[in-house]
Structure 1
Amino acid sequence: MKTFLKALVLVPVAILAIAFAVANRQVVSISFDPFSSGDPVFVLAAPLFLLVFFLLTCGVVIGGVASWLGQGRYRSAARRATAEARDARVENARLRTELDIQSRQNREAARLAGASSGPLPALELHDAH
């Protein structure tokens, strides 16, 4: 389904781009010297469609870079959340192991207490004064 939707969008765009390129094959002069239009220092002669495609590509790249830079804080927050989740999983595993050890010790103590014949001795509390 995703491939079909891509084709549904890209095929008409490609047809329009090809039609634009065929219709605008004439060579245009591009000058980067605003002060001497009669004898510019640097002139680039290229088909109009190449200029338009180049500028569109530059716009897409600049927009992508701007978007990537703008979303840096979200990527940073995602990395931080991933690290915190990893630390929480490690802590959870450590606590589960500790709980298992305590449970075994409690069961063993209960078994030993149940095996003794008499009551447990009372603790004497002495005043420290």
Structure 2
Amino acid sequence: MKLIRWLIGLPLAAVAIIFAVSNRQMVTVELWPFPWTADLPLYLLSLGTLAVGIVIGALFAWTAGSHKRAQSRSEKRHQEIRIRNLERENDQLKADNERLTREAEPQKSLPAA
């Protein structure tokens, strides 16, 4: 898995670096109706927008999966409770089995004198 990350991440990083070097000209960004303007390099505007989109998408994906994570935690708790109950029942059955085995053994008679 680590190798796959490197095989995908390294070329993407190279493309981002080449893009940044190639697009250094300044652009003016205005957010209507606000009175603010900003002069930013084109690469910063593009890569920054991409980064913000990735973060927003990750947040949406994380919130969409919250139901499944909660359901998984609940099932895990129920399984742990069931395992404890079965272990307790198993211990009780072992104790009963030992007791019944001892009771069923024939009593050794004393030797005749």
Q: TM-score, normalization: structure 2?
A: 0.85
1:115 aligned to which of 93, 101, 107: 107
Q: Select the structure of larger CA radius of gyration.
A: 1
AA partner of residue 77 (structure 2):
A
Corresponding residue for 2:36? 42
In structure 2, the residue corresponding to 1:115 is in which secondary structure?
Answer: coil
Match of 1:99, as an amino acid?
L
| Structure 1 stretches of 4+ moved >4 Å | none
CA-to-partner distance for each residue in 1:54-112, whole Å, 9 max, x for gaps?
A: 1111111111110010111110111011111111110111001110111122122223x
1-structure distance, mates of 2:99, 2:2? 60
Structure-2 change in CA distance of 1:96 and 1:45 (3 Å): same
1:85-100 to 2 correspondences below 5 Å:
85-100=79-94
RMSD (Å) for aligned C-alpha atoms: 1.9
Matched, 1:56 2:46: no
Distance 1:93 1:55 in 2: 55
How far, CA to CA, are the matches of 2:83 and 2:6 in structure 1?
43
Unaligned ranges ≥5, structure 2:
none
Task: Give 1:4 deviation, angstroms.
Answer: 3.2
Match of 1:102 among 78, 96, 105: 96
Decide whether aligned partners of structure 1 residues 110 and 49 sit closer, same or farther in structure 2, where only a CA change above 3 A counts.
same
Q: Which residue in the other structure is 1:70 paired with?
A: 64
